[in-house]
Chain A
C-alpha cells in the first residue's frame, strides 16, 4: 500500500493560511445570499406585497424581528469564521462540520456557527410568516375569533398548489375559478416562491440545530455525540433537497414575480399570457420539489433512478423559465416603441443573465457531462455567479431603481444607472467566463492550488479583471445612492429617533413611473 499526498509544500502560501482562506470561502455565500440578496428581497417585498394588495403588512414587529435576526445571524456566522477560522463551507457535507478529530476544528466554534444559522433561518421564517399572513389573513386580529396560524398554513397549501381547483374537478364543479385567480400574479409568484424558501429555511435551520447540538455536546467531552449517528448520503440528499429550494424560490420564482410586477407597471399594459403565467409558477413549484438530484450526479452510491429523475426534472426548469422569459419579452415587444428606463434595461439584461447562466446549468446538470464538470470552476463561475450576479442581481437593482422614487421622492441618475449596468454586466460576464473556461480546462472550485495555478493562471487573471470591473459597477451604484439622498440621510437610518413609517396607503397614491 502506498500513501499518497503532497507533504513538502511550503504552507502557508503567500502568507495565507489555508484554513483562513476556506473560512473566507465559508462566510462568502452566507453574507452574499442572506446579507445581500435576502435583505434586498425582504425589503422589496415588505413594501411591494402590501402595496399591491392595498393593505398594511400583517406584523411590523415580525418585520423588524426578521430584519434584526438576519443582521445578527449573518454577523454571527461571519464573526465565527473570521475569529476561529471554522471552515466547513456552505455545503456542510456530513460529517465534515463536526469532524473535530479529523479536521482539527476548534470545537468551541461549532456552536456559534450553528446558532448563527438558526438566527438567519429564524429571520427567513419570520419574513415568510409575515408574507403569508399579509396575503391570506384579513387585517390584524383583534379578537379571539380571528383565524389562527393553522388557517394561514391551510390557505397557503390550498392556494399554492391549486388544491381547490383539483377538489372542484373531482367533485365535478363546472367552471370553477381557483383561488389563485383572486390574487395578482406578482403575489402568486411571491407566495409560491415562499413555499420553496420556507422549506429551504426549515432544512437549513435544521442543520443549524444539528450543529448546535453537536457543538454543545463537544463542550462536555463525556457527552460528545458521534458523527456516525447521521448517515452521510441521506443527509446529503435531504440537505440538497432543502438547499436547492433557494435557487427555485428565491432566485427563479421571486425574480419572475418581480418581472411580472414591474414590467407591466412600467409599460402600463397587461402582462402577456397572465393566466398561463400562473400555471407556469405552479409548474415551477412542482419541478422544484424534484431537482435536487442534479447535485448528486457524482455520488455513485446514489440509486440510478434518482440520478436520472434529477436530470430530467432539472431540464424541466428550462421549460418553466423559458415560458417565464417569453411572457416578459412578449410584454415588452408588444409595447413597442419601448422607452427604456433604468429598471426596464436592468430587467432585459437580467433575462440575458438567466439565459447565459441557466444554459450553463442545464449543460452540466446531467449524468454524462457532470462526470467532467462537477466541482469545477464551470459550475461556480458561469452557472452560479453569472445567474446570481446578472440574473438575480440586476433584478434586485431593477426593483431598487423602480421603488426608489416612490419611497424617497427623489430620482436616481439614469446616466449613472447606465454606467453601473455596463460595468456590472461586463464585469460579471468576464469574471464568470474566466472562471468557467478555467473549469473546462480542469480547474476545480473550492481548491487552493498550493503549487501555483499553472495553466489556469491566465483564466484567473481574466476573472480578477472582471471582478474589479464588477466591483466598480457596485461602487457607481453606491455613488448614485449617496449623491441622491446625501450621506447624512443614510446615516440617519441608524441614529435618527424613531418616526412612524410611511403607510402603504400614503405611498400607494404615488406613481411608480
Chain B
C-alpha cells in the first residue's frame, strides 16, 4: 500500500519542481500586452472580495480537500476499512503486555489465520511504547501507539498473506527501545 502513495507523491513533487523551474523562467520574461491586461486585477475588481483566478484556485483546493478526505476515510484503504468500517467480530483476540522493554506474548509465534479479522490488545505497564508488525523484507504492515495504563490499545487487522512477521516497538520509549524487536513473532497460516 505504501508504494502506491510513494509513486503518487513522487509524481506530485515532479510537478511541483517543474512548475517552479518554469515559473522562474517565464516570470523573467516581459508579458505580452494583451495577456497582461487580461490577468491584472484592477482597483475596481472586487477590492474586498476575491479575484476570479483566486476564487477558482480556492475551489480547486476545496475539491482536493473534499476528495482527499473522502478517499482516506473510505473503506478503499485497508487500514481505514479495518479501523473504521469493519463490523464483524474478530475470530481471535491477542493480548500483549509490554513492560520494562519486553513484549510479553501469549505464545511465540502467535498463530493467526489468513484473511480473518483478528484483534490486538496491547497494554503497557510503565511508559509509552509502539506496537508495529513488519514483513520479513522490513516493510511495515501496521503500527499503533501503546499508551500506558489505564488505557488499552486495540486494533483490528486482516492479514492477507501467509508467512512470518516481526514485531518492533515503533515509539521511542527510552534508550533500550531499539532492543524491543521480536523476529518471527507472528505466523500467519492458511
Is B77 close to A, CB under 8 A? Answer: yes
Cβ of B27 and Cβ of A336 under 8 Å apart? yes
Known: A352-B20, A444-B170. A337 touches B29 (CB 8 A): yes
Cβ of A348 and Cβ of B138 under 8 Å apart? no
Q: B61-89 toward A: CB 8 Å interface, digit per residue (1/0)?
A: 11011001100110001011001100000
Known: A368-B72, A375-B170. A233 touches B151 (CB 8 A): yes
Is A319 close to B, CB under 8 A? Answer: yes
CA distance A2 to B98 in the complex (A): 11
> Closest approach, in angstroms, between the C-beta of A1 and any C-beta of chain B?
5
Total chain B interface residues with beta-carbon distance under 8 A: 94
CB neighbours of B44 from chain A (8 A): none
CA distance A437 to B145 in the complex (A): 22
Cβ of B65 and Cβ of A315 under 8 Å apart? yes
Is B153 close to A, CB under 8 A? Answer: yes
Among A1, A236, A272, A368, which residue has its beta carbon within 8 angstroms of that of B106? A1
Is A47 close to B, CB under 8 A? Answer: no
> Closest approach, in angstroms, between the C-beta of A227 and any C-beta of chain B?
9
Cβ of A334 and Cβ of B39 under 8 Å apart? yes
Task: Name the residue of chain A whose CB is nearest to the CB of B68.
Answer: A315
CA distance A372 to B185 in the complex (A): 19
Is B17 close to A, CB under 8 A? Answer: yes
Among B9, B77, B107, B127, which residue has its beta carbon within 8 angstroms of that of A368? B77
CB neighbours of A95 from chain B (8 A): 126-127, 148
Cβ of A362 and Cβ of B68 under 8 Å apart? yes
Among B6, B106, B143, which residue has its beta carbon within 8 angstroms of that of A374? B143
Is A405 close to B, CB under 8 A? Answer: no
CB-CB contacts below 8 Å: B122-143 with A: 126-128, 130, 132, 134-135, 137-140, 142-143
CB-CB contacts below 8 Å: A118-145 with B: none
Cβ of B167 and Cβ of A4 under 8 Å apart? yes
Q: A333-376 toward B: CB 8 Å interface, digit per residue (1/0)?
A: 11111111000010011011001100110110011110111111
Known: A4-B108, A359-B12. A455 touches B137 (CB 8 A): yes
Stretch at the interface among A298-306, A464-472, A500-508: A298-306
CB neighbours of B147 from chain A (8 A): 232-233, 236, 299, 301
A-B contact pairs, 5 of them (CB 8 A): A2-B104, A273-B50, A322-B58, A330-B53, A356-B16
Using a CB–CB cutoff of 8 Å, the interface residues on chain A facing chain B are: 1-7, 9, 17-19, 21-22, 87, 89, 91, 93-96, 99, 102-104, 232-233, 236, 272-273, 275-276, 298-301, 304, 308, 311-312, 315-316, 318-319, 322-323, 326-327, 329-330, 332-340, 345, 348-349, 351-352, 355-356, 359-360, 362-363, 366-369, 371-376, 382, 437, 440-444, 446-451, 454-456
Using a CB–CB cutoff of 8 Å, the interface residues on chain B facing chain A are: 1-3, 5-6, 8-9, 12-13, 16-17, 20, 23-24, 26-31, 36, 39-41, 47-51, 53-54, 57-58, 61-62, 64-65, 68-69, 72-73, 77, 79-80, 83-84, 97, 100-108, 126-128, 130, 132, 134-135, 137-140, 142-145, 147-148, 151-155, 167-168, 170-182, 185
A22-B172, A349-B20, A372-B1 given; 16 more Cβ-contact pairs under 8 Å: A5-B181, A19-B175, A89-B172, A102-B100, A103-B176, A104-B174, A273-B51, A318-B64, A319-B62, A355-B13, A356-B13, A363-B5, A375-B170, A440-B6, A442-B137, A449-B178
